[in-house]
A and B are shown apart, each in its own frame.
Chain A
């Protein structure tokens, strides 16, 4: 069984501030973890993924996430928010024994204030 909890359905930051979007997961097998971004009226796009290599994963657009097994977390960060980062972000988990079945969180809407 696997599940994802995204803490905070809405996060608001000022332009240039740190972005931190939280994701906790549960998985009965070693997990694969993902962050996706969805801009208005666009499809989901992969930001980054963890598949048991380095625990600090760097993605596109300056985002990164750190896999912490002891905390069952995979939080997404970006040092300095840009207006174009405003979107909805989804964390997802799959198991390494059934990698095709992904379970998504309910998403976090990021607002960036000028």
Chain B
């Protein structure tokens, strides 16, 4: 089957705007993860889901960031009132179960002007 897909692959927005980033996990994977990767750094954990519920959202930087996974499959990361510092590559990964191998998508490159 297909791997993890993320849309859009690139997003340019203006400071203060709202953006949504989508992640389609591998079919049948119950766990889904969001990371943010800034230039020259490793991925930074944001949140992960077990099924529909957020099991750990301790990495979300502030209340402008929110993620949902209403049916336990596709997930959307939502960023309100974007700031230039939000510019990064947002990575999504999924795994069959938590603690099993995470498969990463290609990422969404977000640029906030």
Which residues of A are at the interface with B, using a C-beta cutoff of 8 A?
A: 4, 32, 36, 42-46, 49, 51, 90, 92, 94, 96, 98-107
B residues 60-113 touching A (CB-CB < 8 Å):
91, 93, 98-99, 101-107
Tell me, in angstroms, the Cα distance from A99 to B48 when the chains sit together: 10
B: interface residue count bin: 20 to 34
**Can you list the 5 inter-chain pairs with the closest CB atoms, starting with the nearest?**
A104-B42, A99-B99, A44-B104, A100-B48, A43-B104
Partner of B42, one of A43, A51, A107: A107
Q: Are A101 and B56 in contact (CB under 8 A)?
A: yes
Least distance between B56 CB and chain A CB atoms (Å) = 5
Least distance between B8 CB and chain A CB atoms (Å) = 15
Tell me, in angstroms, the Cα distance from A81 to B44 when the chains sit together: 29
Which residues of B are at the interface with A, using a C-beta cutoff of 8 A?
A: 3-4, 31, 33, 35, 40-45, 48, 50, 55-56, 58-59, 91, 93, 98-99, 101-107
Q: Are B58 and A101 in contact (CB under 8 A)?
A: yes
* Interface-centre pick from A36, A49, A101, A107 (highest chain B CB count, 10 A): A101
Least distance between A75 CB and chain B CB atoms (Å) = 17
SS class, residues of chain A in contact with chain B: strand
Q: Specify which chain B residues have a CB less than 8 angstroms from the CB of A96 in the assembled complex.
A: 99
Tell me, in angstroms, the Cα distance from A91 to B95 when the chains sit together: 18
Whether A106 contacts B102 in the complex (CB less than 8 A), given A43-B91, A43-B107, comes out as no
Q: Are A32 and B99 in contact (CB under 8 A)?
A: yes
Ordered by A's residue number, 5 sampled pairs between the chains whose C-beta atoms are within 8 Å are A43-B3, A43-B106, A44-B104, A104-B45, A106-B41
Q: Are A45 and B43 in contact (CB under 8 A)?
A: no
Tell me, in angstroms, the Cα distance from A60 to B31 when the chains sit together: 24
Q: Specify which chain B residues have a CB less than 8 angstroms from the CB of A43 in the assembled complex.
A: 3-4, 91, 104-107
Tell me, in angstroms, the Cα distance from A92 to B104 when the chains sit together: 14
Tell me, in angstroms, the Cα distance from A96 to B56 when the chains sit together: 14
Q: Are B107 and A105 in contact (CB under 8 A)?
A: no
Q: Are B101 and A49 in contact (CB under 8 A)?
A: yes
Tell me, in angstroms, the Cα distance from A101 to B56 when the chains sit together: 7
Least distance between A33 CB and chain B CB atoms (Å) = 12
